[in-house]
């Protein structure tokens, strides 16, 4: 749960301006949906927040501190693809989090610590409906199962800010609804700040407490790279400012389906 403040952020790749004058403040626990035309710079924005790319201009702070120019455990990410480690089984993908955080130079926890990590992994797998697949490799999982694993893994890292780049873009509509339920449940429980890029407007409104629209305000037909995109609409969805409101039954469904996707 952290406050993210972006001020006058700009990003260019060489001559091409991708983003300009992007300013936004995300209050702790807010769920921001980011929408916009394909190629307008939403992923680039997310990468800058993540520290995977550096901004050309502007400032970025989390809880008042400038964001370091490389990824840290503060910010978690779920991509549309390549989000889990193909060489580790489903369970080991989760145990890896403990290995990397507490395993020292061997990157491996041992003994009781390992048992705890495994138990924690199995509990979380149960929760996201992947307990039966614990010993499989990700390649043998469906797209929906892989994304559930990716979300579970990111969650174990306990990020203050959760970034999602079209996480459900490659999934079937039915699976997507399940994933929405899972994500909302997790968000309600952990109350982290969420930034989610999606190309599905319905999804943006369903999940977000706020919808940000990225678009170019100026265009040069002779040279499309002359101007970048910025946030053109910032729509707060007041009805959902309190996550996990028990009355909001339409948004927060009951226990997550345990069906294998």
Partner 1 sequence: MRLVNARPSKGSALALATLPFLVVGTLYVMASMDRLAVNPDDKLLPSLGQMGAAFHTLAVVPDRRSGTLILWADTTASLVRLFSGVGIAATVALTLGIALGFIPRVKATLGAFVAVVSVVPPLAVLPVLFIALGLGETAKIALIALGVGPVMIRDVAQRVAEIPAELVVKAQTLGGNTWTMILRLVLPQVMPRLIVAVRLALGPAWLFLIAAEAIASTEGLGYRIFLVRRYLSMDVILPYVVWITVLAVGTDWLLARLSAAAFPWAHPREAP
**Residues engaged in binding ligand ADP (CB under 6 A):** 13, 18, 36, 38-44
Asked if 154 touches partner 1 (CB under 8 A), the answer is yes
Q: Which listed option, partner 1, ligand ADP, Mg ion, none, makes contact with residue 39 (CB within 5 to 8 Å by class)?
A: ligand ADP
Task: State how far the Cα of 171 lies from the Cα of 168, in Å rounded to an integer.
Answer: 5
**Which residue number, 43 or 230, has a Cβ lying nearer to Mg ion?**
43
Q: Which residue's structure tokens are 């970025």?
A: 60
Q: Which listed option, Mg ion, partner 1, ligand ADP, none, makes contact with residue 82 (CB within 5 to 8 Å by class)?
A: partner 1
Q: Report yes or no: 145 and 260 within 8 Å, Cβ to Cβ.
A: yes
Asked if 93 touches Mg ion (CB under 5 A), the answer is no
CA angle 176, 168, 214 (to 5 degrees): 120
E strand map for the chain: 4-13, 16-26, 31-36, 57-62, 65-66, 75-78, 161-165, 193-197, 210-216, 229-236
Q: Which listed option, Mg ion, partner 1, ligand ADP, none, makes contact with residue 238 (CB within 5 to 8 Å by class)?
A: none
Longest dimension (CA), the chain: 64
Asked if 40 touches partner 1 (CB under 8 A), the answer is no
Asked if 159 touches partner 1 (CB under 8 A), the answer is yes
CA neighbor of 114 nearest in space, from 131, 94, 134: 94
In the numeric block, which tokens belong to residue 53?
């790319």
**Which residue number, 32 or 96, has a Cβ lying nearer to Mg ion?**
32
| Smallest distance from partner 1 to CB 201, Å | 25
Q: Cα torsion for 119, 171, 100, 46, to the nearest 10°?
A: -140
Residue nearest Mg ion (C-beta atom): 43
Asked if 249 touches partner 1 (CB under 8 A), the answer is no
**Member of 33, 153, 198, 209 binding partner 1 (CB under 8 A):** 153
Give residues in contact with partner 1 (CB under 8 A). Answer: 50, 52, 70-73, 75-77, 79, 81-83, 85-88, 96-97, 99-101, 103, 105-107, 137, 139-140, 153-154, 156-157, 159
């Amino acid at each position: 749960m952290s406050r993210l403040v972006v001020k006058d952020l700009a990003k260019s790749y060489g001559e091409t301006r991708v983003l300009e004058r992007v300013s936004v403040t995300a209050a702790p626990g807010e769920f921001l949906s980011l929408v916009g035309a394909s190629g307008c710079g939403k992923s680039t924005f997310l990468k800058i927040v993540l520290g995977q790319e550096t901004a050309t201009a502007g400032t970025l702070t989390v809880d008042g501190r400038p964001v370091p120019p490389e990824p840290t455990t503060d910010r978690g990410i779920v991509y549309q693809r390549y989000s889990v480690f193909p060489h580790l089984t489903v369970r080991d993908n989760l145990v890896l989090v403990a290995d990397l955080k507490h395993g020292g130079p061997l990157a491996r926890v041992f003994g009781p610590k390992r048992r705890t990590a495994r138990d924690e992994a199995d509990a979380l797998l149960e929760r996201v409906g992947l307990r039966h697949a614990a010993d499989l490799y990700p390649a043998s999982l469906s797209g929906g199962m892989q994304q559930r694993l990716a979300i579970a893994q990111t969650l174990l890292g306990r990020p203050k800010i959760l970034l999602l780049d079209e996480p459900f873009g490659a999934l079937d509509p039915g699976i997507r609804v399940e994933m929405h339920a899972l994500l909302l449940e997790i968000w309600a429980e952990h109350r982290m700040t969420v930034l989610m890029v999606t190309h599905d407007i319905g999804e943006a409104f369903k999940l977000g407490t706020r919808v940000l629209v990225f678009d170019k305000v100026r265009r040069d037909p002779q040279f499309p790279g002359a101007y970048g995109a910025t946030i053109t609409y910032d729509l707060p969805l007041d009805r959902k400012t309190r996550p996990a409101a028990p009355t909001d039954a339409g948004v927060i469904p009951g226990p997550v389906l345990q069906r294998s996707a």
